[in-house]
Amino acid sequence: MTAFSTLDTIVFLVYFVLVAGYGLWVYKRRQSNSGLASHDYFLAEGSLTWWAIGASLIASNISAEQFIGMSGSGYRIGMAIAVYELMAAATLVIVAVFFMPVYLKHHIYTMPQFLEQRYGKAVATTMALFWLGLYVVVNLTSILYLGALAISSLSGIALLPCMLFLAVFAAIITLGGMKVIGYTDVVQVTCLVIGGLVTTWLALDMVAALAQGHGALKGLTELYASTRDHFDMVLKRDNPNYMDLPGLSILLGGMWIVNLNYWGCNQYITQRALGADLPTARKGLLFAAFLKLLMPVIVVLPGIAAFALDRSGVLGDAMRQGGELNPDRAYPILLGLLPSGLKGVAFAALTAAVVASLAGKANSIATIFTLDIYKKLFNREASEQRMVWIGRLTVVAAMLLAVLIAPLLGIDKQGGFQYIQEYTGFVSPGILAMFLMGFFWKQTTSGAAMFATVGGLIGSIILKFLPTMTDLSFLVPIGFAKANAAGVAEIPFLDRMFIVFFVVVAGMVLISKLSPQRGADSKGLEIDTSLFRVDRGFALGTAVIVTVLVAVYALWW
């Protein structure tokens, strides 16, 4: 493993100056054109192009969770883990067609605002507080800590300075508002894609060397031949990783809930498009969908390559931590093997992914707190300038809190990508049910929405611990459970989400039907089906994405 050289430092500093300088230029230009309007600060209303929206979506989404956690899952499971990225491409199209027209027609700027329009203040305030806690305590801290851990292992710098650097860098970008975030994310995504592809190319070249060859194409051929089982896209029940990716459920069940909730009901994501008109927002989402098709190459293939290199003995004991295998070390180790100069490029790509995600998450925290908590509960007459400054103070406070509590949560000891997905999935079914029912069934009441919030969480917890309380072996023959090493039948978390979602929907229907105030309580949205029509260009792009997904799963079933 080569040390971080002077050339690597220079390459990284060029990236840092480029992003910071471009962000400052965008901020000065924005300030001279539009001043301190709050909607411009939080949403960059009307000023983000489709390519900036698409790039910002991906930059905000791809972080240490993918580079470290998903590469680790690539090492352990294989290409099947790419279903999160591939299904996201399909989901982005659905969000563009069905979700975005509803948000934009009703001038929705935050997710709690939609809930208030649809269900009332009690549901909106409850969910605003819930999202703030989730974003700060879970998302912001995990992005910051895992990113700092990866950068620390690569650069040799202590963990705390890495955390502070990432927090300050992201805060500087965030303080400029959504337009600065959106356009600097274009630079960040460029670094992310180029650096990620370079890392993948060199990892495959190292695999090729195992067969006395060279080049990425030769490496890919050798990798596929030597690790054929790592390229199965749908896992069989006898696969040891079936509990993480339970067969056809990844295509027909819980994976839709994961993605529809993340891409369609998440302030952190939808905020990028809420300030645009519908054609621009749709083009941005479609562009993001195409970028998503690249992500398995950038984040999963390196993990599989690390598996092949480790099995051949090239990596020695590098994949072991405390004597035990740690798949999440795969990507940092590959970065450490890169030659001088290229390591700086890859380091910049990883930093870009982490900083962009931190900035996006911090902006969403500031938006929800300022527009849904501060203005509505504390200062209804707040000026535009005051709301912008409250947003900026919220960014600083959130970053400081994340730096303080992240080391105390044991994030590095709790697993990687799969852990994050599972425990986020405790709330996803209820939130998605609340939104979908709010969109498409006018009779849904606020009581039903509150049930979705609480009932979805309780239902997920019950199903998580149910195997310790009762025998679920009767579910094994029908495919909703599998016996673990101890012989106890467990329900895969994606299947749990699928079950909880339908139970919650059924409960919402029942509560709404039985509500004595159904007529007065209902605030159903007026949905014009003409909103869901798309132009030929969007339809053609969608057809290409669907064709690619069908081909991938047909060839590597």
Pick the residue with more confidence: 80 or 343?
Answer: 80
Whether 172 shows a pLDDT value over 50: the answer reads yes
| Number of domains the chain contains | 2
Which among 236, 232, 259, 248 is positioned nearest to 85, based on CA atoms?
Answer: 259
Would residue 487 count as lying in a domain?
yes
Tokens representing 35 are: 């001043």
Q: Do 431 and 390 have their domain in common?
A: no
Question: What confidence category does residue 520 fall into, taking pLDDT thresholds of 50, 70 and 90?
Answer: very low
Q: Do 52 and 183 have their domain in common?
A: yes
Q: Do 114 and 194 have their domain in common?
A: yes
Residue 416 has a pLDDT of 47
Q: Do 480 and 351 have their domain in common?
A: no
342-368 and 159-175 are packed helices; what angle lies between their axes, rounded to 10 degrees?
60
pLDDT in tens, 175-203: 776 667 767 777 777 877 888 888 899 89
- Among the residue ranges 60-69, 446-455, 472-481, the one predicted with the least confidence is 472-481
Tokens representing 286 are: 């479609």
Would residue 35 count as lying in a domain?
no
Which among 55, 287, 38 is positioned nearest to 190, based on CA atoms?
Answer: 55
Average pLDDT, integer, range 309-330: 82
Question: What confidence category does residue 306 fall into, taking pLDDT thresholds of 50, 70 and 90?
Answer: very high
Domain holding 93, by residue range, is: 11-30+40-410+418-424+527-555
CATH of the domain at 367: 1.20.1730.10
Residue 2 has a pLDDT of 54
Residue 384 has a pLDDT of 79
Would residue 204 count as lying in a domain?
yes
Report the percentage of the chain scoring pLDDT > 90. 29
Q: Please provide the average confidence, as pLDDT, over all residues in the chain.
A: 83
Would residue 536 count as lying in a domain?
yes
- Spatial separation of the C-alpha atoms in residues 407 and 409, rounded to whole Å: 6
- Among the residue ranges 79-88, 356-365, 464-473, the one predicted with the least confidence is 464-473
Question: What confidence category does residue 548 fall into, taking pLDDT thresholds of 50, 70 and 90?
Answer: very high
Question: What confidence category does residue 143 fall into, taking pLDDT thresholds of 50, 70 and 90?
Answer: confident
Q: Do 344 and 394 have their domain in common?
A: yes
Would residue 519 count as lying in a domain?
yes
Report the percentage of the chain scoring pLDDT > 70. 88
Q: Do 169 and 285 have their domain in common?
A: yes
Would residue 1 count as lying in a domain?
no
Q: Do 479 and 547 have their domain in common?
A: no
DSSP notation for 3-55: ---HHHHHHHHHHHHHHHHHHHHHHHHHHHHHTT-HHHHHH-TTT--HHHHHH
pLDDT in tens, 208-229: 998 888 888 999 999 999 999 9
Q: Do 221 and 231 have their domain in common?
A: yes
3-state secondary structure of 325: strand
Whether 443 shows a pLDDT value over 70: the answer reads yes
Question: What confidence category does residue 519 fall into, taking pLDDT thresholds of 50, 70 and 90?
Answer: very low
Residue 410 has a pLDDT of 66
Q: Do 233 and 273 have their domain in common?
A: yes
Would residue 346 count as lying in a domain?
yes
Contact 335, 346 (CB under 8 A): yes
Contact 65, 238 (CB under 8 A): no
Pick the residue with more confidence: 406 or 63?
Answer: 406
Q: Do 341 and 485 have their domain in common?
A: no
3-state secondary structure of 189: helix
Whether 19 shows a pLDDT value over 50: the answer reads yes
Identify residue 453 by its one-letter amino acid code.
T
Q: Do 405 and 531 have their domain in common?
A: yes
Would residue 3 count as lying in a domain?
no
Q: Do 519 and 531 have their domain in common?
A: no
